[in-house]
């Protein structure tokens, strides 16, 4: 049996809510033997409170402060896959931490797909409004340049099968000249 090829370093997933960061992140972590984290789930584990409740009680600014601490802490670890919150890139400090501690993968999807994936999810505080499509379009226009600024790889998740998408992503990571490989 050939030695398993393992990609070194951390992988950080960025993109709008509904782009597939958690789903793809879990599958990528399994494929690469890395530990998976989701920054929103980590905030909930540390506070004992749901993200939507933090937004309601403390507001978005305080939530973003918590998020920055979690991202900074997790980025210090080795061999992780981290699915970040969609708005994490709004803070320059988060963009710097992510870009300097691993490979940033921007998961991009069409607005129709994002809307379909998030429309029944009550844990998306920014979309609990009358016109979630307009909000997603606004967030995309605001955040897409920031995602692109730090992305090492951009991958379209629109109407994609997760296993095929992760296989394509893995191949791109293997082919990338600045990603060292380890052999077990």
Per the annotation, does 25 bind a ligand?
Answer: no
Q: Write the CB contacts of 56 (distance below 8 Å, at least 6 apart in sequence).
A: 125
Cα distance between the two ends of the chain = 12
> What phi, psi does 130 have (nearest 5°)?
-65, -35
Per the annotation, does 143 bind a ligand?
Answer: yes
Q: Is residue 98 within 8 Å of residue 104, measured between CB atoms?
A: yes
Per the annotation, does 160 bind a ligand?
Answer: yes
Per the annotation, does 29 bind a ligand?
Answer: no
Per the annotation, does 22 bind a ligand?
Answer: yes
Per the annotation, does 40 bind a ligand?
Answer: yes
Q: Is residue 79 within 8 Å of residue 37, measured between CB atoms?
A: no
Per the annotation, does 23 bind a ligand?
Answer: yes
Q: Is residue 116 within 8 Å of residue 16, measured between CB atoms?
A: no
Per the annotation, does 33 bind a ligand?
Answer: no
Per the annotation, does 20 bind a ligand?
Answer: yes
In the annotated binding site, the residues are 18-23, 40, 64, 86, 124, 143, 160
In the annotated binding site for Mg(2+), the residues are 22
In the annotated binding site for substrate, the residues are 40, 64, 86, 143
In the annotated binding site for ATP, the residues are 18-23, 124, 160
């Amino acid at each position: 049996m050939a030695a398993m090829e393992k990609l070194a370093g951390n992988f950080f997933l960025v993109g709008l809510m509904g782009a597939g960061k958690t789903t793809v992140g879990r599958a990528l972590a399994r494929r690469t033997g890395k530990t998976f984290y989701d920054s929103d789930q980590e905030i909930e584990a540390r506070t004992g409170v749901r993200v939507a409740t933090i937004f309601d009680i403390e507001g978005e600014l305080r939530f973003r402060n918590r998020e920055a601490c979690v991202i900074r802490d997790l980025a210090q670890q080795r061999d992780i896959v981290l699915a970040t919150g969609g708005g994490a890139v709004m803070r320059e400090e988060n963009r710097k931490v992510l870009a300097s501690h691993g490979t940033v993968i921007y998961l991009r999807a069409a607005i129709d797909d994002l809307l379909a994936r998030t429309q029944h999810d009550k844990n998306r505080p920014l979309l609990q409004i009358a016109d979630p499509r307009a909000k997603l379009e606004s967030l995309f226009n605001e955040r897409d340049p920031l995602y692109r600024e730090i992305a090492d790889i951009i991958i379209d998740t629109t109407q994609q099968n997760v296993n095929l998408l992760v296989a394509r992503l893995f191949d791109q990571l293997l082919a990338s000249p600045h990603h060292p490989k380890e052999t077990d």
